[in-house]
């Protein structure tokens, strides 16, 4: 590998890490959205029953 | 604008600063006479390492505040800072290893005290997560994790000053008592990169903290509704 390729690899690794972190946070956000929806449905059921 | 609402603005500012930082590091900063183009790794590697130290330090500070004043939110804050520290710590080791291969011809050198001590610091904080997830949630876990995080902070100055204390000839020392050993443009580029990486760590911290707090609030809500 040339010196320039090592530089590209180092900067690429940083970019991949940040993108991976964004993907993990996006997955977490989807889970939170789903759980919030479930809780909202549960609260609606309670209010109808009550 | 309240501190709760400035996160999107901060995220945009971070993206802008990091964009400028990449341009400065790769295109504007002059090429190093000794190391050539591989020295450009320095502009991201060193700020990432300094940010990792900062994150671990802030994690320990929040842990100290937790032991001193108490409060569940400080446990979340300490945990999130340490998580950021391990992310930036892993990046320090990887980018450092690539730079080592480009400059010294090896991916790792066990003879370099600073490398080994940084690895020890990184592994110490990796073990924090094993400890955290092996103890039941509650005040006891908060205290145990806080004490562990505080012990780790002692390794930060040891790791940081190792190169100066141990006369390590492999790992370069850029910042000496005489100041930074580089040109003004190089130093300016380095500072912009450092600001960008620090901002990135702070934005990531804030986003993760929001996620963790929302998670905890949802758990409470679920318990209240069930």
* Shortest Cα distance, chain A CAs vs residue B72, angstroms: 20
Ranges of residues in chain B whose predicted pLDDT is under 70: 1-4, 162-179
Q: How far is CA B35 from CA B38, B40, B71, in A?
A: 6, 9, 49
B/e letters for A10-42, b = 16+ CB within 10 Å, e = fewer, are: bbebbeebeeebeeeeeebeeebeebeeebeee
The dihedral of CA B144, B122, B133, A37: what is its sign? positive
Number of structural domains found in chain A? 1
> Which residue in B94, B99, B218 is closest to A36 by CB distance?
B218
The CA distance from B69 to the nearest CA of chain A, in Å, is 30
Give a yes or no: residue A33 inside a domain. Answer: yes
ipTM summary value: 0.86
Q: How far apart are CA B204 and CA B210, in angstroms?
A: 10
Is residue A5 included in any domain, yes or no? no
Helices B155-165 & B113-134, crossing angle to 10 degrees?
Answer: 170
Q: Given its phi and psi angles, is residue B138 left (phi above 0), alpha (psi -120 to 50 degrees) or beta?
A: left
Nearest alpha carbon to residue B213 among B52, B1, B4: B4
Classify B106 as helix, strand or coil. coil
Residue B199 has which token pair?
């901002």
Tally Cβ neighbours within 10 Å of residue B107: 10
Q: How many helices (H) and strands (E) does chain B have?
A: 7, 2
Q: Please report, for chain A, how many H helices and E strands are present, in that order.
A: 1, 0
Nearest-neighbour CA in chain B from A4: distance (Å)? 6
- Flag whether A14 is in a domain: no
Cα dihedral across residues B214, A45, A37, B222: positive or negative: positive
List the single residue in A with minimal CA-CA distance to B206.
A25
Nearest CB among A4, A11, A46 relative to B44 is that of A11
Cα nearest neighbour of B226 on chain A: A42
Closest Cβ opposite residue A25 in set B38, B90, B211: B211
Instruction: Choose the closest CB to B98 out of A4, A9, A21.
Output: A9
What pairing do the DSSP bridges indicate for beta strands B175-176 and B179-180? Answer: antiparallel
Residues A1-50 have pLDDT tens digits of 888 899 999 999 999 999 999 999 999 999 999 988 988 888 888 877 76
Chosen for mutation from B33, B37, B96 (greatest number of chain A CBs closer than 10 Å) is B37
The pLDDT of residue B78: 94
- Contact between B47 and B197 under an 8 Å Cβ cutoff? The reply is yes
**Cα(B207)–Cα(A13) distance, integer angstroms:** 21
CB contact under 8 A, A6 and B38: yes
What are B112's two structure tokens?
Answer: 């370099």
Residue A39 lies in a domain: yes
- What is the pLDDT, as a whole number, of residue B1? 44
For B201-218, write each residue's pLDDT tens digit. Answer: 999 999 999 998 998 889
- Does B26 contact A29 at a Cβ distance shorter than 8 Å? no
Contact B26 A7 (CB under 8 A): yes
Report the residue from A29, A39, A46 with minimal CB separation from B222.
A39
Q: Would you say the C-alpha torsion B11, A19, B93, B185 has a positive or negative sign?
A: negative
Q: Does a structural domain hold residue A36?
A: yes
- Name the strand (E) or helix (H) holding B157: helix B155-165
Flag whether A38 is in a domain.
yes
Q: Is B104 in contact with B170 (CB distance < 8 Å)? A: yes
Assess if residue A43 is contained within a domain.
yes
- What residues of B are in the A interface, CB distance below 8 Å? 22, 26, 36-38, 40-41, 44-45, 48, 87, 90-91, 94-95, 98-99, 101-102, 200, 204, 207-208, 211, 214-215, 218, 221-222, 225
B80 and B209 in contact (C-beta within 8 Å)? yes
CA–CA min distance A19, chain B (Å): 12
Q: Which domain holds residue A35?
A: 21-50
């Amino acid at each position: 590998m040339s010196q320039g390729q090592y530089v590209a690899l180092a900067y690429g690794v940083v970019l991949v890490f940040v993108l991976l972190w964004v993907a993990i946070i996006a997955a977490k956000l989807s889970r939170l959205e789903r759980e919030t929806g479930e809780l909202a449905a549960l609260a609606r059921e309670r209010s109808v029953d009550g | 604008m309240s501190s709760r609402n400035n996160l999107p603005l901060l995220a945009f500012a971070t993206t802008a600063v990091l964009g400028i930082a990449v341009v400065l590091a790769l295109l504007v900063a002059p090429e190093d006479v000794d190391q050539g183009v591989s020295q450009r790794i320095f502009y991201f590697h060193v700020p990432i390492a300094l940010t990792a130290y900062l994150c671990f330090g802030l994690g320990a500070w929040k842990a100290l505040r937790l032991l001193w004043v108490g409060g569940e939110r400080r446990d979340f804050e300490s945990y999130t800072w340490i998580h950021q520290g391990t992310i930036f710590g892993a990046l320090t080791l990887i980018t450092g290893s690539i730079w080592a291969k480009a400059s010294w011809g090896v991916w790792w050198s066990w003879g370099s005290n600073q490398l080994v001590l940084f690895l020890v610091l990184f592994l110490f904080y990796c073990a924090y997560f094993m400890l955290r997830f092996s103890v039941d949630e509650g005040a006891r876990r908060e205290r145990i994790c806080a004490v562990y995080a505080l012990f780790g902070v002692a390794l930060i100055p040891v790791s940081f000053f190792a190169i100066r204390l141990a006369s390590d000839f492999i790992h370069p020392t850029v910042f000496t008592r005489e100041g930074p050993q580089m040109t003004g443009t190089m130093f300016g580029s380095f500072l912009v990169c450092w600001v960008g990486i620090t901002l990135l760590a702070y934005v990531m911290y804030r986003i993760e903290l929001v996620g963790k707090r929302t998670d905890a609030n949802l758990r409470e809500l679920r318990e209240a509704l069930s």
